[in-house]
Every structure is written in structure tokens, then in C-alpha cells.
Structure 1
């Protein structure tokens, strides 16, 4: 069942949507729900794919070096440290917002660049992305019920 083309496409689309590739996995999720795909499989695979994509963005940030930020982005070391201190203790809450279109990918990369706790980022990001897809699915199902 997992490798049925629709489910695999949703997983892949959700993964890509969480990277710098501009793609809407929500449209595919809605289409699949409208054609009676299993709600729980859809939610699970969309969340997993999007979370893994977000964690790959975090990983790319982790590979970055503070020297590169200073050199290419012209951000002073003091500002980087100030930001690191500001984020400290709030990693999980900040990671919840990695689901946001456009800026979510940037948040994930910055959390990686700052080398914040991977477990807190992972948990926060997963919860945020799960909530996003649950809300989207509920709206989709409500619209489907309303139309039919």
C-alpha cells in the first residue's frame, strides 16, 4: 500500500515542499482525500515526507560554517552569538513554525546554522507539520462534505 503511486507521490511532494523547491503538497493531499484515499495514510506520509524535507534543510544549515556567514552575509560574530542566545531554550517552539510557507525553510536552515539541539528541532518541527496537515485535511473534508 505504501508504494502505491498516489501515496508515494504524496510523500515525495511533501518532502520537496519542505525544501527550497516551491511545491504545494496540500493540493495533492486535498485531491487524494477527495478521491477517497485513506486519511491516516495520507496524513502520516505527508507529515513524514515534509518533516524529513525540513530536517534535510536543518542538516544543510548544520553543515554551514559561522565563518561563511560572517564572510558572505556580512553578519558579525557578535550578532550570530546574540541570535544563538536568543534562540536558546526556545528551539522547540521556533521549530514549530517550520511549516510556514516561504519562511519555514529559512527557519530550518537558520536553526541548523546555529547548531541548536537537533532533538528539540526534530520534535517541534514534526508537531508543527503534523498540525498543519491535520488542519488542512479537516478543512478539505469539510469542503468535500459541503459540496456533496
Structure 2
């Protein structure tokens, strides 16, 4: 078993950045480390932690975003914001169960911050969604791919 810290830190950073506007593809790093024989439970825990932490950064950024709504460069007008707020009031918390979906999930975590979702509710929902995704990826890898 490899005891070097760099692969674990690489997975952590990749998972974190994958949940933010930074580029990242944690699935590739996760799969490569799994294929090399790293502990699947540790892979799951580190990838999930990194990805949820990145989503928390999105939530915080969203919570700060309205401070700039009076600026000319602000990308959303008052009507669009009201529409998003109505949509969020209807689907808000449940929508975070889709936070694992590529392209769609990251904006959902930002919107949750904009709409001032309580962090104590945000974290478990995102943890469930993202942790389930990584667990499924590792399970599929174990069932479908030959190990190196």
C-alpha cells in the first residue's frame, strides 16, 4: 500500500475544484487511484469531503452575491431574481439532491447561498447527493473494470 500523501491531496484538490468554477475532473483522479489499489473507503471519504467543501464555498459565494445586485455588471436583473426565488421556494431544498449532476449541480449550490438556505440543512443534502455519487462510481468501477 502506498503511504504517500500527494495522491490523497491531489484527489482532495480535484474533488474540491470540481465543485467550484475551477476546472476539475475528480472522477478521473478517483478512478486512477482506485485502479492503483488505494483504499476505496478512504477514496470515497476524501473525494466526498473535498466536493462538499467546494460546494460550501459556492454556497458562501452565493450568500455574498446580492451585495453586488445594484452594480451595472451584475448578471441578473430584479425580475430574473424574483423568478429564481419563486422557483427556489418551490424546489429549493430538494433541488440540492441534484447537486451531483455535472454542469447543473454547481449553480444549484450557488443559488442555495443566494436564497440564504441554512447551512445546517445545505450540508447534509449535498453530502447525501455527492457522497452517493462517489459511492456509485466506486461500486461501478469495482464491478465493471479490471483492477491494475
Distance 1:125 1:94, change over 3 A: same
Distance 1:118 1:14, change over 3 A: same
The residue aligned with 1:118 is 119
Does 2:42 correspond to 1:41?
yes
Distance 1:2 1:80, change over 3 A: farther
For the 8 Å contact 1:84–1:114, the answer to whether it is kept is yes
The residue aligned with 2:27 is 26
Relative to its length, the structure with more helix (as a share) is: 1
- Give structure 1 stretches of 5+ with no counterpart: none
For the 8 Å contact 1:95–1:128, the answer to whether it is kept is yes
TM-score relative to the length of structure 1: 0.85
Distance 1:22 1:81, change over 3 A: same
The 2-side partners of 1:55 and 1:91 are apart by 16
The alpha carbon displacement at 1:37 in A equals 0.1
String of CA shifts for 1:27-56, please: whole Å, max 9, x gaps: 111111111100000000000000000110
The 2-side partners of 1:124 and 1:2 are apart by 32
The alpha carbon displacement at 1:94 in A equals 1.2
- Give structure 2 stretches of 5+ with no counterpart: none
String of CA shifts for 1:98-133, please: whole Å, max 9, x gaps: 111112111111111111222221111111000110
The number of residue pairs the alignment matches comes to 146
